[in-house]
Amino acid sequence: MAYNTSSGGGGNSASFSVQLSANQAAVTGNNTQYKIPYNLILFDTASGWTASPNYFYTFPFTGNYQLSVRTFLYTSSGVNTSTQFFQWASYNGAAYPGDRFSDLDPGNLGLTVNGEFLFTQSWVHAATAGDTVSVLIDCLGGTLNVGAGGGAAGSPACIFSGYLI
């Protein structure tokens, strides 16, 4: 993915990429909404990322942003019998559903005993300077045994990135 590091967007540029640094076991699976705590900053050209305890990006400029997430899910124990998986962007701390970009049947995720699932989503968002965005996940109707994967830079982990178009 190419990031805007030129003077596009009226002379402004902004790009970021953050990653979950360690596995977060049993964070959803029973209709628990979970904000992914991306805590490893890979880069942040406009210093917009806020880590603990809020985990959100503040858009530094008004404009259109290309946003992408890579989500790595796994079962921390047993089979997950959730009936549906959601993933969404929350703007300015708004409650679900925000900007829902994943809506899947977990039966298709392969989340069986020690199962893993990795997928990527991208979208464009028109933001106003000062708005914030964070990413949440939720598996409905099963047991609390789905984790969010993390690791060192470059590992198959949850990553959130974006740039001003």
pLDDT digits (tens, 9 = 90+) for 62-75: 999 999 999 888 87
96 in Cβ contact with 37 (< 8 Å): no
Contact between residue 149 and residue 36 where contact means Cβ atoms under 8 Å apart? no
Per-residue pLDDT at 155: 77
Write down the pLDDT at residue 120. 87
Categorize the per-residue pLDDT at 49 as very low, low, confident or very high, splitting at 50, 70 and 90. Answer: very high
Residues 42/17, Cβ–Cβ less than 8 Å: yes
What residues does each domain of the chain span?
Answer: 21-164
How far apart, in whole angstroms, are the C-alpha atoms of residue 31 and residue 154?
A: 30
Specify the CATH number for 21-164; select among 3.40.50.720, 2.130.10.10, 2.60.120.40, 2.115.10.20. Answer: 2.60.120.40
Angstrom distance (rounded) from CA 5 to CA 90? 25
Q: How confident is the model at residue 113 (pLDDT cuts 50, 70, 90)?
A: low
pTM: 0.85
